[in-house]
Amino acid sequence: MRALIVDDSKAMRSIVGRIVREIGFETIEAANGREGLETLKSSGEVELILVDWNMPEMNGIEFLRAVRAQPGASAFKMLMVTTASDLTHINTALEAGANEYLMKPFTKDAMVSKLQMLGILES
């Protein structure tokens, strides 16, 4: 299984990457939404996309909408991983195409739980 991690923070890409690799994913990374779209087009198949909200060039919401507008994008499971924690942000992310929402800071167990909810990992 492959996961695309889209976050402008190299440290956060490292943290998220370590967790998803520990649970069996190969990872690829992008530093913003625009780079994420290019990486998605050039890297082949991914099963999971983990995306931050606040990024330069193209934010996470714009990225979600752009991915969902592509043919076949319903196959991607997308998890918004961000510090924004109010209900308005959560609803906006879900309406833009996120399948789930995970608030920073988070634990490995919280990430696993979300991936189980998405049907990517078995319970």
* pTM higher than the cut 0.85: yes
Residue carrying the six token digits 């990992």: 121
CATH no. for 2-116: 3.40.50.2300
Domain coordinates in residue numbering, the chain: 2-116
Contact 17/27 with Cβ under 8 angstroms? yes
pLDDT surpassing 80 at residue 123: no
| Cα distance between residue 31 and residue 122, in whole Å | 29
| Cα distance between residue 27 and residue 75, in whole Å | 18
| Cα distance between residue 80 and residue 23, in whole Å | 18
Instruction: Tell me the mean pLDDT in the region 114-120.
Output: 94
Determine the number of helices (DSSP H) and then strands (DSSP E) in the chain.
5, 5
pLDDT in tens, 42-62: 987 899 999 999 999 999 999
pLDDT tier at 30 (50, 70, 90 boundaries)?
A: very high
* Predicted local confidence at residue 44, as pLDDT: 77
Instruction: Tell me the mean pLDDT in the region 83-99.
Output: 92
Q: What angle do CA 19, 101, 51 make, to 5 degrees?
A: 60
